[in-house]
Amino acid sequence: MMRKPIPLQEPDIGPANTLQELSVLLATEEVVSSLPKYEAGSLMATLRAMVKRLMTRNLAVTFSFTGLDRKRMRTKLSFKKHDIYRILLGAIDATSFGQCPRKDIDRALINVLKNVGDWDNFRGNLRKNDEQKHPKTGDDARLDFPSCEQDPHTEQSCSTVSPEVSSPNHVYCSQIVPSNLLVEMHLEN
């Protein structure tokens, strides 16, 4: 009688919430060896899936690729200097993206880390919750800007943002003014 092979089971360890949990997770051989199965359609999607497997959003936002901000001040933990970087490179080598140049892998990781804030549509949910807390009504409601209405005898048009007119004919145009009010203008020459 032939036995069916038992599929590789992923350990019950979830993504890490803290650096200590991440260290334990990275020391677990089963977790590290299961990373290549998260291969997706693109290098960036593969890296994102692997990073999501290893750490939660709350931990991931504490990392940047170099650990430095635009002014070269140390503001976050360096992903490149952490053990997770070496482990992810090994996992990528075990996928079809293994032949990608290191420069492309680094660029994809930079983008993954830049977009950690939007994992699971976090930014969209924040925006949605903010709109629910502060619904726009009356004067605060979104203004619909009508297209320019012209004198029926002319074929010229104008922009809804700029009242510039290139015709001596009458043109009616909407303009956005600093107080965010919609002002109807009637221009004549």
Q: Tell me which range, 4-13, 55-64, 165-174, is most confidently predicted by mean pLDDT.
A: 55-64
Integer Cα distance of 73 and 80 in angstroms: 16
Tell me the whole-structure pTM to 2 decimals: 0.59
H-type helices in 99-141, by residue range? 102-114, 122-133
pLDDT at 159: 43
Provide the residue type at 101 as one letter.
P
Residue 154 scores a pLDDT above 50: no
pLDDT in tens, 64-113: 888 877 778 888 999 999 999 999 999 999 999 999 999 999 999 999 99
Give the gyration radius of the chain's Cα atoms: 27
pLDDT at 127: 67
Residue 84 tokens read as 């997770």
pLDDT at 66: 87
pLDDT in tens, 1-43: 445 444 445 555 789 999 999 999 999 888 889 999 999 999 9
pLDDT in tens, 115-138: 998 887 766 666 666 677 666 655
Of all residues in the chain, what percent carry a pLDDT higher than 90? Answer: 44
59-64 mean pLDDT? 92
The residues spanned by each domain of the chain are 19-122, 145-189
pLDDT at 162: 44
Residue 85 tokens read as 């970087």
Residue 146 scores a pLDDT above 50: no
pLDDT at 93: 94
Integer Cα distance of 173 and 158 in angstroms: 7
Please report which helix (H) or strand (E) contains residue 89, including its range. Answer: helix 83-93
Contact (CB, 8 A) for 123 and 61: no
Provide the residue type at 50 as one letter.
M
Residue 61 scores a pLDDT above 70: yes
What residues contact residue 172 under an 8 Å CB cut-off, 6+ apart? 148, 149, 150, 151, 184, 185, 186, 187
120: nearest Cα among 45, 57, 50, 38:
57
Residue 170 scores a pLDDT above 60: no
Which of residues 11 and 114 earns the better pLDDT score?
Answer: 114
Q: What crossing angle do the helices spanning 19-27 and 43-54 adopt, rounded to 10°?
A: 110
Integer Cα distance of 136 and 144 in angstroms: 14
